[in-house]
A and B are shown apart, each in its own frame.
Chain A
Amino acid sequence: MKLEAEDITTAYGEALVEVGKFYPNIIVLNSDIADSCKTEAFLRAFPERSFDLGVAEQSLPTIAAGLSLVGKIPFYNSFAVFAVSRGVDMIRQSIAYNDANVKIVGHGAGQSMGYTGPSHHTLEDISILRAIPNITILSPCDAVETTQMVWKMAETEGPMYLRLARAAVPNFHKENYKFEIGRTELLKDGTDITIFVTGDMVVLAMEVHDIFASQGIICKIVNVPTIKPINVEEIIKHGQGTLGALTIEDHNILGGLGSTIAEIYAEFLQKPVKRLGIPDIFTESDDAVVLRSEYGLNVDLAIKLAREIL
């Protein structure tokens, strides 16, 4: 059955309005790209709770930190590359060290902003934020999960990063899905290899699953929507009973989901791990689908790496 694709950013923007009705303390900060970030609906619904700081991305984390310190729940929005790396010292010092209740929302993460080129591709955000204490890193795989995450972010105290791909993806989840921060999700059970995947790369993982299934190989597919804090116990459980792990992420292979899983496997399971992601390079411009194929996020390479374990 072919699932209908739904845009992740649109789901975020719509969820923000609904959550905003329930939480009057939510403030939305924009950085001159409310249209791209789909926060205009919130602006229309709550103009007094929307502030556009202009093209001032390093001020997003600090202004947001200040708002949170007087009781607000700020969601700040920019392209992921600027939302994180432009103000990383501000995130470290003013958000994380203050333990400020700020919600960082990075749009167009990974290579999903294809044509804009490597200046706008975000392949190091998980790696950077993993090394900063107090920050929760969330990476939804579809629109339903995105909506759930926005609710959880509002109701849960603490600094959080929401990593959004600019992509329309099939909804793997039904409307009654209940996302929980810090939990993994078993999408397909299997016995041969465990594939850990995050974000819209779940689409690729499911393709790999189906191809292997036709060859009699049963993959376990584990969605990892919370990359930090990682649920070590669940990762170990998912790793038991298969030969090893393949990780898939639209991120540099250094420091992201693959590294996280490899650390746990090295320490607790002593089984092989293969990491599929972007090699440590700057990418180029093109359609996101073309880029992902070019840099290895494709079925062929996924199967090749998995076969090295099987």
Chain B
Amino acid sequence: MKYSTNKKALDPIVDAKKIQELKLCAVHHRKKLLELGKDLSIRLHYGAATSSVEILTTLYKVWMTYDSEEPQWNDRDRFVLSKGHAAPSLYITLSSCGFFPDSEFKNFRRLHSMLQGHPDRKKTPGVDCSTGSLGQGFPVAAGMALGGKADNASYKVYVLMSDGECNEGSIWEAALISANYKLDNFIVLLDWNKKSSYGEMKGRNDVVPLDKKWEAFGWNVIMCDGHDFISLTQALENAENAKDQPSILLCNTVKGKGIPYVEDNRTPSNFMLSDKQYTEAMAYLETLEVEICL
């Protein structure tokens, strides 16, 4: 399916129906995550995956241009999941957009599967770059944007990265390079959930003030609510209009959004849901689904 868009922010009144659909899509995404962990009895980075749900949903169901039947289509927008541990969320998004069937999840993270533990561009349709080593997807995407700029190409390059990744020096090298080469075809969405794998970053491996840092590095910095579709699309529209500057959206998010146990920080980053946690989380999401449909 070819998907293209006019890249305009959603209007709360005109696009009310679309927004409702997106909210439902986000709930279904989280339910799928829960099912994936439970059905396969595996540990998942639920926190990192759930904080990115609306960001990924916005990019693939509102914003980017692509063709799921021709994943290598040259004019497609590029996407790099720099926070590769959110792979399950990316896979759920790609599958829901028609890149591969839902049945592939049965073999998720198993031998000969197209769905590896972290994104693998050579195995998964729709994955533009293999990632998993933090701090690298972002600079690779900068290289893509540099190439696109050299070709005066129509596509843009989007990256989803984490705040924890800002601990990596490679991020800041590439931030300088992107600003020096005026990569205004490069849009980064930072999932700012304030936690890295070991917990709260505050007072330990803190990266704030992020806005001032990125501004000082020459970037167009936009703050937004990373769980709100209107806010996300407004920020993206702002980024699309930037000239001679790369843009970064500092997306305020909650790690574990939609799974109360994780939101309340009662679990480690990467864990296996108990039956009780699964049932409670599923009940919570089903209530949310009913509320959205009202």
Once bound together, how far apart are the Cα atoms of A56 and B181, in whole Å?
14
A133 on interface, CB distance cutoff 8 Å: no
Report B142-153 CB contacts with A as 1/0, cut-off 8 Å: 111111101101
A64 on interface, CB distance cutoff 8 Å: yes
Interface residue ranges of A49-85 to B (CB < 8 Å):
49, 51, 53-54, 56, 58-59, 62-72, 74
Point out the residue from B78, B120, B143 that lies within 8 Å of A65, measured CB to CB.
B143
Chain B interface residue count, CB cutoff 8 Å, equals 33
- Closest-CB distance, B240 to chain A (whole angstroms): 19
CB pair A98–B173 under 8 Å, yes or no, is no
CB pair B174–A27 under 8 Å, yes or no, is no
- Closest-CB distance, A168 to chain B (whole angstroms): 34
CB pair B147–A58 under 8 Å, yes or no, is no
CB pair A63–B150 under 8 Å, yes or no, is no
With A27-B147, A59-B170 given, is the CB distance from A66 to B133 under 8 Å?
no
- Closest-CB distance, B73 to chain A (whole angstroms): 13
A282 on interface, CB distance cutoff 8 Å: no
CB pair A65–B150 under 8 Å, yes or no, is no
Point out the residue from B136, B150, B181 that lies within 8 Å of A94, measured CB to CB.
B136
A62 CB contacts on chain B under 8 angstroms: 136, 139-140, 142-143, 170, 174
Point out the residue from B148, B169, B174, B176 that lies within 8 Å of A70, measured CB to CB.
B148
Once bound together, how far apart are the Cα atoms of A99 and B143, in whole Å?
15
* Chain B residue nearest in CB terms to A99: B122
Once bound together, how far apart are the Cα atoms of A53 and B176, in whole Å?
9
Report A77-115 CB contacts with B as 1/0, cut-off 8 Å: 000000000000110111001110000000000000000
- Closest-CB distance, A225 to chain B (whole angstroms): 28
Stretch at the interface among B57-65, B124-132, B260-268, B284-292: B124-132
Once bound together, how far apart are the Cα atoms of A72 and B131, in whole Å?
20
A48 on interface, CB distance cutoff 8 Å: yes
With A69-B129, A89-B133, A90-B136 given, is the CB distance from A63 to B146 under 8 Å?
yes
* Chain A residue nearest in CB terms to B143: A66
Chain A interface residue count, CB cutoff 8 Å, equals 29
Interface of B is mostly: helix
A93 CB contacts on chain B under 8 angstroms: 130-133, 136
- Closest-CB distance, A85 to chain B (whole angstroms): 15
Report B239-273 CB contacts with A as 1/0, cut-off 8 Å: 00000000000000000000000000000000000
Report A207-228 CB contacts with B as 1/0, cut-off 8 Å: 0000000000000000000000
B173 CB contacts on chain A under 8 angstroms: 53, 56, 58-59
Report A259-279 CB contacts with B as 1/0, cut-off 8 Å: 000000000000000000000
A51 CB contacts on chain B under 8 angstroms: 146, 181
B141 on interface, CB distance cutoff 8 Å: yes
With A27-B150, A56-B176 given, is the CB distance from A64 to B130 under 8 Å?
no
B169 CB contacts on chain A under 8 angstroms: 58
Once bound together, how far apart are the Cα atoms of A56 and B169, in whole Å?
10
CB pair B139–A70 under 8 Å, yes or no, is no
CB pair B144–A66 under 8 Å, yes or no, is yes
A70 CB contacts on chain B under 8 angstroms: 78, 143-144, 147-148, 151, 153
B120 CB contacts on chain A under 8 angstroms: 97
B130 CB contacts on chain A under 8 angstroms: 93-94, 97-98
B24 on interface, CB distance cutoff 8 Å: no
Once bound together, how far apart are the Cα atoms of A65 and B131, in whole Å?
12
Once bound together, how far apart are the Cα atoms of A89 and B173, in whole Å?
15
B143 CB contacts on chain A under 8 angstroms: 62-70, 74
Once bound together, how far apart are the Cα atoms of A182 and B180, in whole Å?
40
Once bound together, how far apart are the Cα atoms of A71 and B143, in whole Å?
11
CB pair A48–B150 under 8 Å, yes or no, is yes
* Chain B residue nearest in CB terms to A64: B143
CB pair B144–A90 under 8 Å, yes or no, is no
B210 on interface, CB distance cutoff 8 Å: no
B interface residues with partner A (beta carbon < 8 Å): 74, 78, 120-122, 128-133, 136, 139-148, 150-151, 153, 169-170, 173-174, 176-177, 180-181
Given contact pairs A27-B150, A93-B132, A94-B133, enumerate 15 new A-B contacts (beta carbons under 8 Å). Answer: A58-B170, A62-B170, A62-B174, A63-B143, A66-B144, A67-B147, A68-B143, A69-B121, A70-B147, A70-B153, A71-B151, A74-B143, A90-B133, A94-B140, A97-B120
Give 15 pairs: A residue, B residue, CB < 8 Å, sorted on A: A49-B150, A53-B173, A54-B177, A62-B142, A65-B143, A66-B146, A67-B146, A68-B143, A69-B143, A70-B143, A70-B153, A71-B147, A93-B132, A94-B129, A98-B130
